[in-house]
Structure formats: structure tokens, C-alpha cells
Amino acid sequence: MENSLVQPWASDKKWEQFISEVIQLCEVSRKFIEYLDNVNKRMRIIHNSSVPIRNGIDHIKVLDIDKTLTTNENYNEIIKLMHEKEEFEPTCIDDLILCNVIQPVFLENMELPFSVTLYRYYSGNYMESQALLKVHELLPKYSTQQIRKNVVNKYSLYTRLSPAILCTLYQDLIGDASNSPNLISQEMQECIRLMYETQDPNIIFDLQKNGGFKGTKFDEFWDEIDYYFNKIIPAVHERRHTTMMFMPVAISIRELRENIIERLQTKHDEETFSKIPIPSEEWIRLQFWPKTIYAKTSMQYTGRFEISYKVQSRLLRKSHPDSHYCAAMFRYTRLFAIKFRKFACFISADDKHKVPVGEIVETSTGVRNKATLASLGTELTSCDHDFTKLSVTLSISLFCEIPKDISGSFYQEQVFVSYKDSVFQPSSALRHSSKWLKCLHEKYVTLPEMLIIYTDGGADHRTTFGSVQLAMICLFLKGNFDFLAAV
């Protein structure tokens, strides 16, 4: 900012006040930077020190209190406790200090019939203050009916939402813990919250038309789902850790809904099918068994089908301290590819799970893939689990179509799939490089000048390994590229 003040435009008089304010801002910023540097240095010294910053010797206060001829009734509890103790026995009197007195004055002016030595140690006043601040945020908030009425009247002028929805929005945004004035309003707000939690407004219309959980409008659709589940025998969990069964055919509620619609279209003619009501996806989801029966959200499920729809927890993404840097690196790589999109080829590659080969019956893939629909009370049956005669590893290479801006998709264009024996043809950097070069010759008549490769950073892709670096150099020389980047 200071360098900008030496520009020719700064010599004009109309910028004098602005320049003075900028100089003041720079001085304040410089002082604040110095303060942060000093604090940072001090914290580094504290963190690297083998001795605690506070200890019971250097930060302790000792006060000798002589006995007095008279005593004050405020110290009766302390006198009674000290009579029960032996001489030179340490005693804590924190709980005996009165709440309505100033603590230092109360301790220094103690009137006791015997002499004592008072040891005081302060850990820091900020600790309890921070705890009180956190407790204050957790306290419930209550609003009067007039406050809620004023909010509804104010915002009803700008939107056509009903007063019940506005009241529910007010409670969610403000955190109002007040109860509804009557039972009808409470039931209506519960329905609105159900719509918010399921993120589907159609669920409210289903409840209105269905009359709750006792409607018969979608019985034909539910019967077809029941036939669909009975036709397919659920499979066992690949590790036999639970009696829960899994249905690997319908991998999502949307796909299940589409499959049932196709079955109904095949089963009935067009006129009959047009009269069959089709429920929404969220209403279908609520017909299954809840994931946790002790949760409050389990009250929304009907339990019509004794099947639990869930994803195995081991496949859920976990937080990592480097996730931000990985995402930033991937973004910079895409921006670089977009800048030279006319001259570059972007490849995204990875090895997929092993496919078992050699058994004459259906076998499990041996991979901990995601569980979808789990049936309750079905007998455990399984053909094969983690052992097969032969397995094939698939290598996937996506030649991305580089968009014109960062908001475009990098997951389109052409996919090359190669398979190899998992034992005798293991994945290696040279094998991947030769495969990419072959795919490039198949895709392009003239190879592009720049090649960008994005992988998962495994042992056969990690650029810090010498074998991977040599493979990239060979690919760079053999393809006669002007630029090659592997991330």
C-alpha cells in the first residue's frame, strides 16, 4: 500500500486526506504485525519449553496470618475444619469462602484463634470466563407471542408464506425454545419441520392425502416393492459382522423408485398405469426401517418394510488436515489446464477393485463396497467371501474434456479401461506410462504438446518415488511432449 503512494496520481491535492489515512493504516498494520510476531515468538518459546509456563513455586503467593484474640463468625466453618486437622496438614478452603465477599479481602483479614500460613495459586482468570461464555451460548431463548407476531406481520408483506411457516422459520433462525400456544399449531409445526428435514415439500402433500401413516392410496406401489424384495434373496455382509442383510440391486431410493415404475409399466397397460399413484422419493425412504431406533428422527419412519437403507460407515469421508491443500492443488491444476486447453490433454487415472474370476457360481467381489438395502430376520446365506481362484484388477483412465471455465465439468469425454492379472501383472509406473502412451496414440492423430496427469498418489503414482519419476521421464521423451505434469 505504501508503494502505491509514490505513483503520479498521489501528487494531486484531492488525495492528501486519503494518503494520510493510508499512512495511518499502514502504521497501525505494522504495529499489529509486530504484536502478532511477538506473540508468535512467545508462544513458540512456551510450546518448545520443557517446563510449564506456570508452576506451583514461582507463581504461588504465601501469606502468614497470626492468631487474633477475637474471631469473626464468617470464619466459623474454617475454624471448625482446622480443629479437625492435624498440625502442618494441608487443607483446601476454596469451598468455605463466602460467595458475597471479596476474596482477597476475606483471606487477608482472617481472624483465627491460631496462626496459619495461606498458600494461593492462580491458574488464570480467563479459564472460567471462557467457560461462562460457552454456557451462555447454550442457554435456551424464549420469545413472547407478541414478538413472534411482530416478526410474522413484518415479513408477511414481502412473501406469501403462511404464518405457520414464518413462525417455524423464526424459531429455527433465532433458536426460540417457546412452546406452541395450542395443539393444532404444534402439529402443524412438526409437519413443517418434517418437510425441512426431508428436504422435500411433496412429503407434506403425501401426509395430507394419505391421512398420516394409515392411507391406502399407494398400496399397489407398496405391494410391487414387496414383490421386488421377495424376488431377490439378500446377501450376507462380506465380513459377517452382523445379522443385517444387504440388497445390492437397488443402490438408491431414486433407482428403486425407477425400477418399481418400470415393473408397473410392464405389468399394466398404459391406461391402467396412468391411474396408479406414485409416491415421492422421501415418502418411499420413510417406509423403511430407521437406522437408529433411539433417535428422534425414527418417529418419522413407518417401518412398512423391515429393511434398513444405509451406507457402511467405513466408506464415509473422514476429515483430514491436508484436505484443503489437496483441493487447492486440484483446483490450480484444473485452472492451468483450462488456460492451455487448446494444447493440453488432462488424464485422471486410478486402479479399481479386484474382480474375482474362476468360480462357476456367483461370488462376492471381496471388496468392502457400500451396503444399500439391509433386510431384517432373513437367514444368513453366502456363496463366497474373500477367497477366489483368480482376480483381475481394472485400471481406469479418463481423458477429460477440458471446459472453458472452472465451473465446467472435468468428468466427461472418453474412458479407457484395461485389465490385468493381480498376481502376475501388478500395477507399476512403467506399465501405466506405456498404457497412457498407447491410449494417446489411439485418441489423437497428433499428440498434444502438454500432458497433465492426476492420480490418487498411490505407490505406483507417487511422484516422490524414483520409479515413478523415471516412468514420467520415459513418457515425456517417448511422447515428445513440451510439458508434462503429474499431480
The CA-based diameter of the chain, rounded to the nearest angstrom, is: 108
* Residue 319 identity (one-letter amino acid): S
Q: What does the CA dihedral 66, 67, 69, 74 come to, rounded to 10 degrees?
A: 100
Assess if residue 129 is contained within a domain.
no
Query: What pLDDT shows up at residue 197?
Result: 65
- Does residue 476 share a domain with residue 327? yes
Does one domain contain both 276 and 360? no
Last residue of a domain, one of 88, 121, 154: 121
Q: How far apart are CA 200 and CA 207, in angstroms?
A: 12
Q: Distance (Å, rounded) from C-alpha 62 to C-alpha 150?
A: 59
Question: Are residues 109 and 146 both part of a single domain?
Answer: no
Residue 432 forms part of a structural domain: yes
Residue 85: CA atoms inside 13 Å, Cβ hemisphere, count?
Answer: 15
pLDDT, residue 485, reads: 92
Report if residue 373 sits inside a domain.
no
- Determine the pLDDT at residue 42: 85
Instruction: State the Cα–Cα distance between residues 276 and 278, nearest whole angstrom.
Output: 6
Q: Are residues 361 and 463 in the same domain?
A: yes
The shares of helix, strand and coil residues in the chain, as percent rounded to the nearest 5, are 45, 15, 40
Q: Are residues 271 and 303 in the same domain?
A: yes
**What range defines the domain where residue 11 resides?**
3-48
- 11 and 117, same structural domain? no
Give yes or no: residues 389 and 451 share one domain: yes
Same-domain status, 192 and 327:
no
Q: Tell me whether residue 128 is in a domain.
A: no
Domain annotation covers residue 375: no
pLDDT value at residue 105: 79
The series of mean pLDDT values per 10 residues for the chain, 487 residues long, is: 69 76 84 90 78 61 84 85 84 78 78 83 54 62 72 72 72 70 70 65 49 64 80 52 52 82 87 86 77 63 68 52 82 92 92 74 51 53 57 89 86 88 85 92 91 87 89 92 92
3-class DSSP assignment, residue 252: coil
Helical (H) or strand (E) element with 347: strand 344-357
Question: Cα–chain-centroid distance for residue 4?
Answer: 43
What 363-371 contacts at long range (C-beta under 8 Å, 24+ apart), as own/partner pairs, is: 363/388, 364/235, 364/238, 366/238, 366/391, 367/238, 368/238, 368/239, 368/312, 368/314, 368/315, 369/248, 369/315, 370/251, 370/311, 370/312, 370/315, 371/237, 371/244, 371/246, 371/248, 371/310, 371/311, 371/312
Q: How many domains does the chain have?
A: 5
Same domain assignment for residues 283 and 354: no
* CB-neighbour burial class of residue 340 (10 A; exposed 0-12, middle 13-18, buried 19+): middle
DSSP letter for 314, please: G
